[in-house]
Amino acid sequence: QIQFLESGGDSVESGGSLKLSCTASGLIFGAAVMGWYRQAPGETRELVGSITSTGFIKYEADFAKGRFTISRDNPNNILFLQMDSLKPDDTGVYYCNGAPFAWPWGQGTQVTVSS
């Protein structure tokens, strides 16, 4: 079955950086458009941005533009999210999935940014 394992979340101070990883299994990862999603406390899950199989990136969320970078390692089935200049509003659980989402969600990885 298709599974996603997100990791790399942590508690950091405002202005810090984190790099999240998502290891996928059970799908032809190299052919999939993949996305990162964020669910802030009390909010619905939203698409941060997506990346095609060939590396074309589109950031859907304004908060991601200029601070977040999506990348992928197709041979190893890994999706990355580099987050810089983190703000308290970036606090939330981050997930990966197809874009648009099409498969069961993983457990996500918690990011907490303190001021």
**Peptide bond preceding 100: is omega within 30 degrees of 0, i.e. cis?**
yes
Indicate whether 100 pLDDT > 90. yes
**CA 4 – CA 2 distance, rounded (Å):** 7
90 near 61, Cβ under 8 Å? no
pLDDT in tens, 75-97: 999 999 999 999 999 999 999 99
Q: What is the pLDDT of residue 17?
A: 98
**CA 97 – CA 103 distance, rounded (Å):** 7
Query: What is the rounded average pLDDT of the residues 8-21?
Result: 98
Indicate whether 1 pLDDT > 90. yes
**CA 21 – CA 44 distance, rounded (Å):** 21
111 near 94, Cβ under 8 Å? yes
Indicate whether 101 pLDDT > 90. no
Q: What is the pLDDT of residue 16?
A: 98
pLDDT in tens, 20-66: 999 999 999 999 999 999 999 999 999 999 999 999 999 999 999 99
6 near 109, Cβ under 8 Å? yes
What percent of the chain is modeled with pLDDT above 70?
A: 100
Q: What is the pLDDT of residue 34?
A: 98
